[in-house]
Chains A and B, each alone.
Chain A
Amino acid sequence: MKTFTITLCLTFTSVGFAFADHHGGDDLAKRLDALLAGVSQDDEVQRYEPRMGVRDLTSAASAPGSKTREAYVKLLLERLANDDTHQAAKAWILRQLENVGRSESVPALNRTMGSPFHHLRELARRGLEQNPSEEAGAALRALASTEKDRGTKRALVHSLGQRGDAKAVAVIAEMLGGKDQALRLVSIDALGKIGTGEATKILFDGLDEAKGADATAMANALLESANRLSAHHADKAKPILNELYHGETSAAVKAAALRGLIKADPADADEVILLALQSEESLVRQAAINACRHLSGPSVLPNVLAVKLPDLAPNERAIALAVLGESGDSTVAAQLAESLSKGNQSTEGSVSLIGVLGKLGGVDAATRLLELASLSSDEAVIEAAQVALAVMPGASVGPWLVAATETGDIDARVQAIATLGERGTRDAIPALFAHVDRGPKAIRKASLASLGGFVSSEELPRLMGYLKKGDKDALKAVVQACRQVRDKDKAADAILSGMGPLKPDMKESLLPALGVLGGEKSFATVRSMLSDAVLGKAAMRTLSRWDGVEAGPVFLKLAQNDDTSVTDRTLLLRGLGRLIDQGDGLDAGKRFEWALAGMNAAQRSADKRLFLPVLANVGSRESVETLVGLLGDKELGADAAQAALNAVKKMRGGRRSGRAKQGLLKAVIRSSPDKDVVEEAQKALDKL
């Protein structure tokens, strides 16, 4: 048997997709028989390969334009009819007929439905279900009406439903009156799938009498039919949907029927939804509220929802709030704003309403929100109102806010100014500068803060102009502006050209702003100030925090200079380590090179120690070897061991890196004076 199996496997492998149309009938028969012999083996495990061989033959025969399909199917049918064919082979033949059989296969499948073996009958039924011929439908109908076995009968009815066989309606209808509930349920489902007028009428007429699971199945099947009808025959779908909606059906069915009714007749949507909002079923009320999302034209419903909001159940209120937020209806905003004004909301309720107002936008909403943001005593409400004001849509909101900065309560004016900044309203810039020039102190301060948050590099020179008088609020605005402007080079130009006449303390305060802007010009300016007796220290601090990689070589050069003070060297080396860790635009080789150079430039152990985690983060072979080389160092050994351990953890998997990790861990275990590190390394090694 063993030899036989091996031979078969070789044969199966060679069959594969090699089978093509040019193979003669005899050749094909031989190949199929060899494979079926394999499928017939006693050992289930050995059947797999030959099964795949047969599948490949079927695939080739089923390809478009195949000239061998008929010959191949004929062979399958002959083997199926042969009493000597093993059941396992017959079963697999039936699976093939599912995919490749047509009318010629029907008689054989029909005969197999009389087999004493259940699994063969089941496979034949599948074959008939998938068979595209009218003959297969006729066979299924005949079988369904005569079949005695309950399970098989149900399966046959299901197959007729799957095929959408309109001719089967009468046959299936007969099953509805029987005692077998499972058969009744399958029949109802099948009629729903067939969905012809005749099938639908049978279901519709039966709905009144149906009870329990039958009634539910019938309602679901009718929904399917009505759904199909509503695409082209809304007038025929509506009576069904009305019956399902008003009849004794489940909440889920009622809610679905409601959706169907709205879809079938959008013109009546308002009326239908208004009535549904009064339903006793929560699912229906939820569906009604949600339907307001999809209204096609002007409607009173968003306003109705806004009015009813306080009375809705929590889950319905959540839907209504979401729906209103999406409606974009400014009249709703007025309604909700009024509701907020009544002051009978809880904090969470107010916050939710404010969120919706923020989405709706418009002057009504803005007026109420500005009031809340400036006058409320509830911090959660203030915060929500500020956020909503910042994001609310509406072309009229900007001009309205600008007007609001001019008159009224000082707190509200300040809030309006802050909001203009948050919204980045560029049209407000002249008004805000006017406030800076002429406004009262609080308004002036707020205007500078607001401008700093959104001006572009174009306005920076004007802001810089205020620094000449030592204006600290203006300084904050300039620094803030440097953080957010897009055109960093242009902003740097504005700062550099405006710095000249400033007092030293102002210049010093501006250095971090240059650091934020970055770029070559700023870098050169800060660097040139290193030797300045007054600004030198601030320049060094700024430089050591520089983010661009262009600073790396300068850091190194200065750190290597013996004239650099100990403190400055530490600052520079920290900056270098940070740049290496960030790694932007640096490959592993360059990062290692800088780390090594930094370590060599360090004169104190504490500074050298800075580079141990840096080397671990680099994670290259060279960096890890450097760490291993430091394990014996009296000053650095313990920290190097910890760093090496961390490097191992960061190393990627794989066989080669596994060996490297083992070597590294062993070295750590040998050399580290720290028991905890050794223990951790041993655990890691054991795990490997």
Chain B
Amino acid sequence: MKSLQLTRRDLLKKASALAAPMIVPASVLGKDGTTAPSNRITMGLIGHGLIMGGHRGYHLQRKDVQVIGVCDVYSDRRDKALKQVEKTYADRDGKGKHTGCESYHEFEKLVERKDLDAVVVGTPDHWHAPISVAAMRNGKDVYVEKPMTLTIEEGKVMRDISARYGRILQVGSQQRSERAFRKACEIVRNGWIGKVHTIYAGLGGFPQPHNPAEQPIPKGFDYDRWLGPTPWFPYNEERVKGNYGGGWRRFWEYGSRKNGDWGAHHFDIIQWALGKDDSGPVEFIPKGYQGNEHQTHVYADGTKVLRDHPDRNGHMIHFIGEDGTVSVSRGGRLDATPAELVRQSVGPNEIRLYESKDHRGNWLDGIRTRKPTICNVEIGHRTASICHCSGIAERLGRPIKWDPVKEEIVGDANAARWMDRPRRAPYTIL
């Protein structure tokens, strides 16, 4: 017998790798283990602000990906991105020059390319849906940053388009691909801490939105296209800059402030833990309403999610059940009471959640095998709906009721108008 003497642990590890869609057919691979150029996934990168740096670096080092287009409304960012792509590929191929990547000012022209397979959308939130929809209509797969949308209706359109055109979409709520978050969700889903009744999520806060004074629009920046479908306001760098402490993220016009920023991560994990990926809460109560100390949303079974409650055990998310607690943060931090739950294995008859160890890689696997990704369009839409409903309630200063089956705001026709926002001409088509 030609035994390799694999241990049981080795086998199980390999088996779990088999369970994931990592089967790479031989003919996809070149003889040296790299992918033949003609079989690489061709990629377009759109929006080269802060978040795209990581995506660009990741996809440039993947041997099975070829970046063939970069797009931005800032000419200098576009040029820098193009130079990085050209240099990386020239170095990789051992050539002095690489000319296989084009730069684009208008995403429409990039997504129309017949030789393009997929795009990463790293723009501010108000461009996520229009670009993703255009890409999917052109038969491209999409990785879109979180939150998936600016409005609830955009999410419905993206879900329809993804299904209609059979496109694989991954939303960049990448905590789903971190072990500690998955484990926390498995602890909750399997009832190890009993029925969960309260959850605290730390989102933090931005400075209040403001009206910054008008400044001259920098040369090489297409401000009108940056604003796109949102209402026109005078240019100011503060309004458009990418900045995790503020910038465009603090304005309601371009996102849902902290609800869309961190909420798109933590509310997403809470949905996963509660098994509500195709559903959602039924009520959203803003902070300050009738003395409500914390922004809250409530599920049909009474489970409450409180934003920024301080008793989170030093963690980002803190689940409180009838028999224990589980607290989880980035960096693999996971605590529970009882403590041994953290090390307890999921039993054969218990719920084992979708496992991904690499959020971007999971998307690439989905592109190859057409299997749904770990944070697919439905999941992204449902999480974004929570972010948006929380924001709507905050702006209206009153609670709103939500029907997660019909996906409608209930009993408040004027609040329901906020489920979409009119788009500024000529950026109207979605």
CB of B405 within 8 Å of the partner chain: no
CB of A540 within 8 Å of the partner chain: no
Cβ of A411 and Cβ of B1 under 8 Å apart? yes
Cβ of A318 and Cβ of B4 under 8 Å apart? no
Within 8 A of A (CB), among B1-44: 1-4, 6, 8, 11-12, 14-15, 18-19, 21, 23-29, 39
When chains A and B are docked, how far (Å) is the Cα of A125 from the Cα of B422? 9
Cβ of A100 and Cβ of B23 under 8 Å apart? no
> Distance (Å) between the CB of B350 and the closest chain A CB?
15
Quick one: CB contact mask for A118-131 with B, threshold 8 Å, 1 for yes?
01001101100110
CB of B213 within 8 Å of the partner chain: yes
**Count of CB-CB pairs between chains A and B under 8 Å:** 208
CB of A154 within 8 Å of the partner chain: yes
Give the most central of B1, B6, B27: most A CB within 10 Å.
B1
Task: State which of B6, B164, B422 has its C-beta within 8 Å of the C-beta of A227.
Answer: B164
Cβ of A421 and Cβ of B137 under 8 Å apart? no
CB of A296 within 8 Å of the partner chain: no
Cβ of A386 and Cβ of B11 under 8 Å apart? yes
B209 nearest in chain A by CB position: A48
CB of B398 within 8 Å of the partner chain: yes
When chains A and B are docked, how far (Å) is the Cα of A44 from the Cα of B369? 53
When chains A and B are docked, how far (Å) is the Cα of A582 from the Cα of B28? 45
Task: State which of A56, A356, A386, A410 has its C-beta within 8 Å of the C-beta of B23.
Answer: A356
When chains A and B are docked, how far (Å) is the Cα of A171 from the Cα of B415? 31
- A62-B396 in contact given A44-B211, A383-B6 (Cβ < 8 Å): yes
Q: Is the interface of B mostly helix, strand, loop or mixed?
A: loop
- A250-B139 in contact given A48-B211, A62-B415 (Cβ < 8 Å): yes
CB of A490 within 8 Å of the partner chain: no
CB-CB under 8 A from A251, the residues of chain B are 114, 139
Q: Name which of B97-105, B304-312, B406-414 contacts chain A.
A: B406-414
> Distance (Å) between the CB of A43 and the closest chain B CB?
7
CB of A173 within 8 Å of the partner chain: no
A43 nearest in chain B by CB position: B213
> Distance (Å) between the CB of A125 and the closest chain B CB?
8
CB of A194 within 8 Å of the partner chain: no
CB-CB under 8 A from B39, the residues of chain A are 314-315
Cβ of B429 and Cβ of A158 under 8 Å apart? yes
B211 nearest in chain A by CB position: A48
B33 nearest in chain A by CB position: A348
Q: Is the interface of A mostly helix, strand, loop or mixed?
A: helix
CB of A541 within 8 Å of the partner chain: no
Cβ of A45 and Cβ of B213 under 8 Å apart? yes
> Distance (Å) between the CB of B39 and the closest chain A CB?
5
Cβ of A122 and Cβ of B425 under 8 Å apart? yes
> Distance (Å) between the CB of A357 and the closest chain B CB?
11
CB of B231 within 8 Å of the partner chain: yes
Give the most central of B2, B24, B288: most A CB within 10 Å.
B2
B26 nearest in chain A by CB position: A348
Quick one: CB contact mask for B133-174 with A, threshold 8 Å, 1 for yes?
000011100000000000000000000100011100000000
B28 nearest in chain A by CB position: A314
When chains A and B are docked, how far (Å) is the Cα of A287 from the Cα of B164? 11
A48 nearest in chain B by CB position: B211
CB-CB under 8 A from B165, the residues of chain A are 252, 255-256, 259
Task: State which of B214, B412, B425 has its C-beta within 8 Å of the C-beta of A63.
Answer: B412
> Distance (Å) between the CB of A665 and the closest chain B CB?
24
B314 nearest in chain A by CB position: A652
Within 8 A of A (CB), among B356-387: 368-371
CB-CB under 8 A from A43, the residues of chain B are 213
- A382-B370 in contact given A119-B232, A355-B18 (Cβ < 8 Å): no
When chains A and B are docked, how far (Å) is the Cα of A43 from the Cα of B234? 12
CB-CB under 8 A from B212, the residues of chain A are 44-45
Total chain B interface residues with beta-carbon distance under 8 A: 63
CB-CB under 8 A from B137, the residues of chain A are 220, 252
CB of A293 within 8 Å of the partner chain: yes
> Distance (Å) between the CB of A411 and the closest chain B CB?
4
Quick one: CB contact mask for B394-430 with A, threshold 8 Å, 1 for yes?
0111100000000000011111011010111110110
Quick one: CB contact mask for A92-136 with B, threshold 8 Å, 1 for yes?
000100111000000000000000000100110110011010000
Task: State which of A154, A223, A286, A322 has its C-beta within 8 Å of the C-beta of B164.
Answer: A223
Cβ of B232 and Cβ of A130 under 8 Å apart? no
Cβ of B4 and Cβ of A44 under 8 Å apart? no
CB of A234 within 8 Å of the partner chain: no
Within 8 A of B (CB), among A341-376: 345-349, 351-352, 355-356, 358-359, 374-376
- A64-B411 in contact given A43-B213, A99-B418 (Cβ < 8 Å): yes
Cβ of A318 and Cβ of B25 under 8 Å apart? yes
Question: Which residues of A are interface residues toward B (Cβ below 8 A)?
Answer: 17, 43-48, 51, 55-56, 59-60, 62-64, 95, 98-100, 119, 122-123, 125-126, 129-130, 132, 151-152, 154-155, 158-159, 162, 182, 185-186, 189, 220, 223-224, 227, 250-252, 255-256, 259-260, 283, 286-287, 289-290, 293, 314-315, 317-319, 321-323, 325, 345-349, 351-352, 355-356, 358-359, 374-377, 379, 382-383, 386-388, 390-391, 410-412, 414-415, 418, 421-422, 453-454, 484, 584-585
| Leading 4 A-B pairs by shortest Cβ distance | A348-B26, A252-B139, A155-B425, A411-B1
17 pairs from A and B in contact (CB 8 Å cutoff)? A44-B213, A44-B234, A45-B213, A64-B411, A287-B166, A319-B370, A322-B371, A325-B23, A346-B26, A349-B26, A352-B24, A352-B26, A358-B15, A383-B6, A386-B4, A388-B18, A453-B8
